[in-house]
Structures are given as C-alpha cells and as structure tokens.
Amino acid sequence: MKVAAIQMVSGMDASRNLQAALDFIAMGANQGCELLALPEYFCLLGARDTDKLAIAEDAGQGILQDALRHAAREHGVWIVAGTLPLKTNQADRVFNACLAFDPKGNQVARYDKMHLFAFDNGTERYDEARVLQAGHEPVAFELASRDGHTWRVGLSVCYDIRFPELYRALQADLILIPSAFTHTTGQAHWETLIRARAIENQAYVIAPAQGGKHENGRQTWGHSMVVDSWGSVLASRDEGAGLVVAELDVAAMQQRRTQLPALKHRLL
C-alpha cells in the first residue's frame, strides 16, 4: 500500500491551511497513494492557544470536516486528518480530535488525544490542558487496501508517543502519529521514539508532522517519516511543507512477526 505523510508549516489562517492540506491530498492521490495523513493542528497554529476555540466544530459537521469528507470521496483515498478542534460541553475547552475518512467520504474513526503535552524549560512553556479536554479511549479501525488486505490502524497524537502502553492496547499493524513536536523535544527524542514504537509493536508507523518556523513564532521539528516494522526509516523530510511517500509491504511485516514472535511472547 502506497502512503503519504503530509508535512506542513501551518499558520494563523484556517482557510489557507485547509487549502494547503487539500492541495497535498490531491497531490498524493495523483501519485497513487491510498492513505494520506495530515499533521497535528494542520488547520491552525494560532497566536494563542485559545485561537482554536474560534474554529471548533460540532462532531460530524463543519467546514473542515465537510472539506475532508469531500476530498476523500473525490480522490477515492483514505484520509487521516491530523487533528482539528471539536467542541466539548465547555465553551473554553475543545477536543484535539484525529478523524479518519474512508474513500467514500465516511468518517470511520475518531480519536481524541488522551495525553496532553506540558513542557517548561524556563524559556519555552506549553500546557495543552489550558484549552484541550483529554480523550479517554484508544481507537483503532480497519482499513481495506486495494490489494485486498485489511490493516488494523491505530490512532495516536504527538505526545501520546511517550506512553507505550497506549500502543500495546491498539494492537495495530499500522500506527499513525500526527504531531507538532517542538524543535527542542523533537531534536532530542522524535526519531528515537518513533522507531521504538515501530520496533516494539512490529508495526509500520506513519508520523506526519509540522516542520518549520510558523507565523506565530513557534518552531516545530518536522522530520515527518514512515518507518517499517523493523524500525527502518523508509522515507523522511527534514523541514518545510511536502509529502513523504513510501510503500508498505504487509508480507514483510508478517514475515518479521513470524521470525521474531515477540508479540506472542508478551506476558503483560
């Protein structure tokens, strides 16, 4: 299955970000990709954390969701839509939701980010819990590829990557980790964590990221990548917007799981 991780440098104009995302989806579809994955916060990296409240949508309807649904149907592809803000029952909180759409435009999965990022090194300060409401349930869905194989796809978002127990619960063949890693933490840990999640779960990982200097002054690490079930990086991109395209070979993954049956040897 041919896939693409979409790397973006999203700004403070949601409509412009959405159009960029749709352009990349079309580009990937034209290259024969069956699955296209957007990064976390693909639709907005605002001047303030609270800016996302203004574009929050009701579950199942809204400009962002309608556009993604239409794009999946128009191009006949699977889309994992990074994250977008969905309303909660509190006016000052949103869910950071990762949505998956099938080639007919149906939403087949929704995952609300469970682990909320906080970081303070004296210079950089982040606390997602000020605006986000955490999700509570791991989410995976079935993806039928054109070759007839059905993949179990596990959803996660950015900071989730530091919690390996989540991925054990997913029991996935393919893991998605849309992210907006800071430059500081990304430089130190990004690739190591992605490859570790792939190796320990003997699964493919697609990690689409924000990558570059944003309008709001934030700098994200980028380095979007696709990693195979042996931990090898199949394709990556350092910084700047673009596609990271790779082929996933289910037979190779199954062979590795047979040769080294670590998943069957788990005691916990």
What are the E-state strand segments in 8-54?
35-37
Q: What is the 3-state secondary structure (H, E, C) of 184-233?
A: HHHHHHHHHHHHHHHHHHCCEEEECEEEEECCCCCEEECCEEEECCCCCE
Tokens 């792939």, residue located: 198
Closest CA to 87 of 117, 64, 116, 115: 64
Burial class of residue 54 (count of CB atoms within 10 Å of its CB; 0-12, 13-18, 19+): exposed
| Distance between CA atoms of residues 115 and 112, nearest Å | 9
Angle at 151 between CA 258 and CA 227, to 5 degrees: 70
Q: Which amino acid is at 26?
A: A
Q: What b-and-e string marks burial along 59-79, b requiring 16 or more CB atoms within 10 Å of the CB? A: eeebebbebbbebbbebebbb
Closest CA to 145 of 115, 182, 103, 184: 103
Q: Which amino acid is at 99?
A: L
Q: Catalytic residue positions?
A: 40, 113, 158
**Pairing state between β 219-221 and 211-213:** antiparallel
| Distance between CA atoms of residues 69 and 175, nearest Å | 21
CA 35 → CA 20, 130, 202, distances in Å? 17, 33, 20
